Chain A
Amino acid sequence: MANERLKLLEEVEKEIAMVLQCAGNIVLELSRDKHNASFLDRQLVQFQTSINRVESELSAQIRYLTQVATGQPHEGSTYSTRKDCQMSLNRAEYAKVKLGELGRTCEAMLEQQQI
């Protein structure tokens, strides 16, 4: 859920860049002697769409934060479960090491007997 909102805000950033780019393209086209009317119309529609989308998305995010935010710090943590999982992996690693030693000892004994 958090990732979706952050991705939405990244999309908004791209829309802001699109707004500036469309404005620049329109001014560039107006600076020429002969204007391409269809290009101007397309860029203007894109400009208006992008700026409306930026305003609506950011307003929606601010409205959501107004409902959800409490002003208090969040005190949740994953430290305990992370530690338990780490200890479990350490147990598995230790068992693997000990089994490796046992295997090497057995192989050494077998080689001695063969000799």
Chain B
Amino acid sequence: MCIANSYKKKTRSNRPVLDVQPNNSSYENALKQSLLWVPLSTMANQRVLPQSKETLLQNYNKRLKDDIKSIMDNFTEIVKTAKVEDETQVSRPTQAEQDHYEMHVRAANIVRAGESLMKLVSDLKQFLILNDFPSVNDAISQQNQQLRALQDECDKKLTSLRDEIAVDLYELEEEYYSSSYSQWNSTDLPLCEAYRRRDSWASPDSSSSSTQEDREDAVGTPSQEANAQHHVNGHGTTSAEKP
């Protein structure tokens, strides 16, 4: 291999076969060493210093340039190596074997550079998601707008439903609380009863009937049973007792 390399220096370009770029693991170690993270709990006087975004972006730029250069150089050298030369300093099988090995290594370098570019794209995606504030703000405001529109529509429909049901509910309550099946106390008046009492208080002629109703309220269930004896259908007692 040393002989082949020495011949290579004379005949081919001086481009080295092996890439001089560090692999990802050593690069990451260097990156970690450059970080100036100091735990606050250990050192009271020192602050936590994160890696600056400029350094990170310069790092991305360097990786991009190096990977593109590696792909171009290695591909160019493969194409040059593919040329068949008539005059060789070593025997043809030896030269062929050397060329074969060189092409393998350069192809591996191209694949490694491509893999490194994919990793760079992944890092850029992550950086974009975390630090592209204009797009994050747009996404948040758009989401907020959609959620508010949905909430407003839901509340509007509930309000219209409430207005429609209020009328029917009044009639239902009137029917229910004037029947023998209702069980209510004076502190929890239904809507129809509250309106009726307001009307009865307004007219003095119905004061006796109102007091009688109060006594019935105080008694509770036995008074309802008594009312049921007077009225077969179970309708309201107030209608019969009102003058």
Could you tell me which A residues sit within 8 Å of B by CB distance? Answer: 1-2, 5-6, 9, 12-13, 16-17, 19-20, 23, 26-27, 30-31, 47, 51, 54-55, 58-59, 61-62, 65-66, 68-71, 73-74, 76-78, 81-82, 84-85, 88-89, 91-92, 95, 99, 102, 106
Could you tell me which B residues sit within 8 Å of A by CB distance? Answer: 50, 52-54, 57, 60-61, 64, 68, 71-72, 75, 78-79, 82, 103, 107, 110-111, 114, 117-118, 120-121, 124-125, 127-140, 143-144, 147-148, 150-151, 154-155, 157-158, 161, 165, 172
Docked complex Cα distance between A81 and B103 (Å): 60
Report the nearest A residue to B155, measured CB to CB.
Answer: A88
Contacts of B130 in A (CB 8 A): 73-74
9 pairs of A and B residues whose beta carbons are closest in the complex: A2-B135, A69-B131, A81-B147, A1-B135, A85-B147, A88-B151, A88-B154, A85-B151, A71-B53
B191 smallest CB distance to A (angstroms): 15
A55 touches B132 (CB 8 A): no
Dominant secondary structure at the B interface? helix
Docked complex Cα distance between A20 and B61 (Å): 21
Contacts of A91 in B (CB 8 A): 154-155, 158
